[in-house]
Amino acid sequence: MQWFFILLFIAVCILAGVLYHHYDLMKAYYKYQTDALERMEKRYDKDLTASNQKVNELQTIAFMNATTNIWNIDYFITQGKKAFTATYDFPPSFTLVAFNIANIGKINQLFGPTEGDKVVYTTAQTLKKLASQHIYAQIYSNLFCILFINCKDEYVTERIEKIYNTLYTHDTNVQIRTAFGIYKIKNTSENIMDMINYATLAQKFVKESDDLCYKFFTNELNQTFLDNKRMSEEMEQALEDHKFMVYLQPMYDLHSYKIISAEALVRWDYPGKGVLSPYAFLPLFESTSLIQKLDYYMWEECMKLIRRWIDNKITPTPITMNISPNHFTNDKFVDYLVEIRDKYLIQNDLIILEIPERGLSTVTPQISQIINRLHDEGFILCIDGFGSLNSPLNLLKDLPIDRIKLDRSFLSKNSTSDEGLTILRYLIAMAKELDFTVITEGIETEEQANMLLEIGCDIGQGYHFSKPVDLRTFDNLNKTLVKAMYRPDEYYPTFEDYTRDLDLIAQFFVNRENSAVE
Ligand code: C2E
Ligand code: MG
C-alpha cells in the first residue's frame, strides 16, 4: 500500500514536471510568435512608409515639370477636377487664367534659346511665388494657368498685374512681356482643356499696344475667333481661285505730276462681303504664317503684271511690293524673290521692296544680313512708314536703304503746326542730303502736295492723286493703248492671258487698218 502511494507521488511529480515543461514551451512559443508578429508589424509599417514615400515621389515626378520645377498639366487637371467636385458652404465661383510670354520669339531671336529658357524658368518661379495660394501650373512650354476659387474679378486682375509687372521689370535688358486671358467658368462639368482653350483664346486678343495686359473671354471674342478660323481655312482656296487681287496706288512725281511708280496693295474679293480691305484680314494673317503665302502670291502677281506690260510693249511702271516683317526670321524669301524675278525676267529697277519701319525697330545681325542680301541682289529698298518710330536716323546710318516713305500720320500730324513743318522740312532735307529718294504718302489735299514740293519732297502718294485702284483702272490712269484691249468681263487678267491679249492687239490693229482703208 505504501509503495502504491510512493509510485503515485512519483507519477504526479513526473506529470507536473511534464506539464510545467510544456507550459514553458508554450510560453516560449507564444513569446516567439508575439515577437515575430511585432517584427512583422514593424517591417510592414516601414514598408508602408517607404511605399507611401515612393507613391508621393512618383506623384511629384508625374505632376512636376522637370525643367521649371513647377506643377504641370496633369496636376492642374487633377486638382481642378477635385476643386469642381468638392463641397462648399455657398455656391462657389471659378476663374481660369491662362497666360504666355508674348515676346518669347523675339527674346529667342535677340538673345538666343538659352536666354529664352531662362526667361521661361523665371516666369515659372514668379508664378509659383505669386500664385501659391491657388491651383497653378505650366501647361506646356509657353502656357501657364491659374485656377482661382471664389475670388473677385478685382483680386484676379490685381494678381495678374502683379505677375505682369514683376516679370516686365525683373531685368532691364530682357523685358518679359506676358499676356493673359481670363475665362469665368460657368459650367464646371465642361472639359478643363476646353476651359483652358477659352482663356487662351481671350489671351490671343491682347495686343502689345493695349493698356491692359489681359482680356476676358466673351461670346463676341469667340465669334471673332470663329470668323478668323473660317477666314484662315478659306485663304488657301481663295489664293487658288485668284480671289486676292492686286490693287495699285500710283505715286506721282511732285514736279511733273506724272505717275512714276505704283504700290501694290492686296484686296480680297470675299463672297458675300465684296472687296475686303487688308485691315480686315492682314492682322490675322500676320499672326500666323499665312502672310508669307499671301506675300509670295502678291509678289508673283506683280512680276507677272510687269512681264505682261513689257510683252505688250507698254512702258512698265515700277511696282512697290510690301514685305511683311514676318519674313525676317530667315532669308528664304530672298531666294523666292530672286527666283520669280529671274523667272519673269524683270529688271531690278522695276521692283521696289517696301519694308515697314516697325519690322526694323530692332535691327538684329540676322535682319541686317537679310537687308544687305536684298541690296546685293539689286533690289531697291524703301522704308515704309518712316518716322513712326523713335530712332529713324540709326536705320539710315546702318542699312543699305535707297528710299524712305514718310509715315502718313506724320504728315497729317505735322502739317498743321509750324513746328511740325520745320521737323518735316529738316527730315526731308537730311534724307536728301544722304541721297535718299523721299516719298510722302497720305497726301489728301493740293495744299499738302504744294507744301511738300516746297520743302523738297520728290514723290507723293495719296487720295489727292488717286485711291488704290484695280488693274484696269490703273492702266486707264496710265493712258496706254492696251488698256482698251481688256475684255470687259476680264476683271483680273493673269500671266497666262497675255498671249491671248497679244492676239487681241493684233486683231485691234487689223480692224483699225481695215476701217482706215474703208
Ligand atoms: P501701307 O503700305 O502704308 O499702304 C498705304 C495705305 O495707305 C493703303 O491702305 C492706302 O490705301 C492708304 N492710303 C494711301 N493714301 C491715303 C490717303 O491719302 N489717305 C488715307 N487715309 N489713306 C491712304 P491699304 O491698301 O488699306 O493697306 C493697308 C496696309 O496693309 C498697307 O499700308 C500695308 O502695310 C498692308 N498691305 C497691303 N497690301 C499688302 C501686301 O500685299 N502685303 C503686305 N505684307 N502688306 C500689305
Ligand atoms: Mg506700303
Pocket of ligand 1 contains residue 463 by CB under 6 Å: yes
Residue among 267, 322, 464 to mutate when testing ligand 1 (max atoms within 8 A of CB): 322
Ligand 1 atom 19 nearest Cα: 442
Whole-number Å distance, alpha carbon 277 to ligand 1 midpoint, is 9
CB atoms within 10 A of CB 316: 17
* C-alpha Rg value of the chain to the nearest Å: 39
| Ligand having the closest approach to the CA of 355 | 2
Residue 459: helix, strand or coil by DSSP? Answer: strand
CATH 3.40.50.10420, domain 241-491, yes or no: no
CB atoms within 10 A of CB 309: 20
Evaluate whether 222 touches 204 at the Cβ level (below 8 Å): no
Residues 6+ apart with CB under 8 A from 325: 355, 356, 358, 359, 360
Evaluate whether 136 touches 185 at the Cβ level (below 8 Å): no
Please give the grid coordinates belonging to residue 317.
511702271
Residue among 235, 248, 265, 299 to mutate when testing ligand 1 (max atoms within 8 A of CB): 265
* For residue 491, pLDDT beyond 50: no
pLDDT tens by residue, 368-408: 999 999 999 999 999 998 877 665 667 777 889 999 998 87
Ligand 1 atom 21 nearest Cα: 442
Evaluate whether 116 touches 220 at the Cβ level (below 8 Å): no
Partners of 264 in beta bridges: 248
CB atoms within 10 A of CB 301: 22
Q: Would you place residue 509 in the very low, low, confident or very high pLDDT band (cuts 50, 70, 90)?
A: low
Q: Which helix (H) or strand (E) holds 79?
A: helix 73-85
Pocket of ligand 1 contains residue 468 by CB under 6 Å: yes
Q: How far apart are CA 489 and CA 516, in angstroms?
A: 28
Whole-number Å distance, alpha carbon 405 to ligand 2 midpoint, is 8
Please give the grid coordinates belonging to residue 273.
462681303
Q: Would you place residue 490 in the very low, low, confident or very high pLDDT band (cuts 50, 70, 90)?
A: very low
| Ligand having the closest approach to the CA of 407 | 1
Q: Which atom of ligand 1 is nearest to the CA of 295?
A: 42
Q: Which atom of ligand 1 is nearest to the CA of 246?
A: 41
Q: What is the pLDDT of residue 503?
A: 61
Partners of 247 in beta bridges: 265
Partners of 146 in beta bridges: 97, 136
* For residue 413, pLDDT beyond 70: no
- Domain residue spans in the chain? 73-217, 241-491
DSSP state of 173: S
Pocket of ligand 1 contains residue 312 by CB under 6 Å: no
Whole-number Å distance, alpha carbon 265 to ligand 1 midpoint, is 6
Pocket of ligand 1 contains residue 359 by CB under 6 Å: no
Pocket of ligand 1 contains residue 277 by CB under 6 Å: yes
Whole-number Å distance, alpha carbon 506 to ligand 1 midpoint, is 37
Ligand 1 atom 25 nearest Cα: 265
Mean pLDDT for all residues in the chain: 87
Helix axis angle for 290-311 and 219-240, nearest 10°, is 40
Q: What single letter denotes the amino acid at residue 502?
A: L
What angle (nearest 5°) sits at the alpha carbon of residue 13, between those of residues 9 and 16? 135
Q: Which CATH class is domain 73-217?
A: alpha beta
* For residue 489, pLDDT beyond 60: no
Pocket of ligand 1 contains residue 449 by CB under 6 Å: no
Whole-number Å distance, alpha carbon 404 to ligand 1 midpoint, is 15
Pocket of ligand 1 contains residue 440 by CB under 6 Å: no
Mean pLDDT (whole number) for 481-503: 48
Q: How far apart are CA 451 and CA 308, in angstroms?
A: 37
Share of the chain above pLDDT 70, in %: 89
Name which of 303, 198, 181, 298 is nearest 247 in CA terms.
298
Which CA distances in Å does 363 have to 294, 304, 337, 473?
Answer: 24, 32, 21, 39
Pocket of ligand 1 contains residue 324 by CB under 6 Å: yes
pLDDT tens by residue, 266-313: 999 998 889 999 999 998 888 788 999 999 999 999 999 999 999 888
Q: Which atom of ligand 1 is nearest to the CA of 247?
A: 25
Pocket of ligand 1 contains residue 444 by CB under 6 Å: yes
Whole-number Å distance, alpha carbon 508 to ligand 1 midpoint, is 36
Mean pLDDT (whole number) for 171-189: 93
φ, ψ of residue 435 to 5 degrees: the values are: 75, 30
Q: How far apart are CA 204 and CA 99, in angstroms?
A: 9
Pocket of ligand 1 contains residue 278 by CB under 6 Å: yes
Evaluate whether 215 touches 181 at the Cβ level (below 8 Å): yes
Name which of 94, 98, 83 is nearest 193 in CA terms.
98
Ligand 1 atom 12 nearest Cα: 442
φ, ψ of residue 404 to 5 degrees: the values are: -130, 140
Q: Would you place residue 10 in the very low, low, confident or very high pLDDT band (cuts 50, 70, 90)?
A: confident
Whole-number Å distance, alpha carbon 249 to ligand 1 midpoint, is 9
